Amino acid sequence: MPDECKPDCNGNDIPDAFEIATGATPDCNTNGIPDSCDIAANAGLDCNANGSLDSCELASGTARDCNSNGVIDSCDIAAGAADADADGRIDRCEFDYGDFNLNGVVNGQDLAIMLSNWGLETPLGDVNRDGVVNAADLAALLSWWGIPLP
């Protein structure tokens, strides 16, 4: 097949397959289409507009998705997810480790917050999200005691 008949989604007169094979353009999802063309066809594939497919960033670990919703955390935050301490982490995800004061480590202050909410239905203390602050949450909080959050 002549080159002019081969797919060239970005219009640079170089066949897509050649660009991908030589590494001149990434195709992280291996669909045979340069990532830049995937992104151009569907802007939702690159929510943080950094030129990389979100799915590839998540798969490679270069971006976080702490709530496992398939959306990069920074995009969730840009869309309104709470990040009161502006550390780039969704607050609810920090609560899931027991870091209720959002200082990056689980310590006595977090334990005090948990105990003040003992038996209540509140996210501040409900580490395991079962709807109530109880002993299961205390065990989860203690498992992260003193360890910097991932």
CATH assignment of the domain containing 109:
1.10.1330.10
Q: Are residues 9 and 52 in the same domain?
A: yes
Backbone angles phi, psi at 13, to 5 degrees: 65, 20
Q: What is the dihedral of CA 135, 141, 144, 150, to 10 degrees?
A: 130
Domain boundary among 63, 82, 103: 63
Question: How do residues 57-88 score in pLDDT, each as one tens digit?
Answer: 999 999 999 999 999 999 999 999 999 999 99
How many domains does the structure of the chain reveal?
2
59 located within any domain: yes
Residue type, 27: D
Backbone angles phi, psi at 105, to 5 degrees: -150, 145
pLDDT band at 15 (very low <50, low <70, confident <90, very high): very high
pLDDT of residue 42 exceeding 90, the answer is no
> Rounded CA gap, 26 and 110, in Å?
44
pLDDT value, residue 1: 46
Q: Domain residues for 9?
A: 3-63
Q: Are residues 103 and 54 in the same domain?
A: no
> Rounded CA gap, 45 and 34, in Å?
13
pLDDT value, residue 123: 84
> Rounded CA gap, 85 and 10, in Å?
41
Q: What is the mean pLDDT of the chain?
A: 91
pLDDT band at 4 (very low <50, low <70, confident <90, very high): low
Q: Over range 80-98, report the average pLDDT.
A: 94
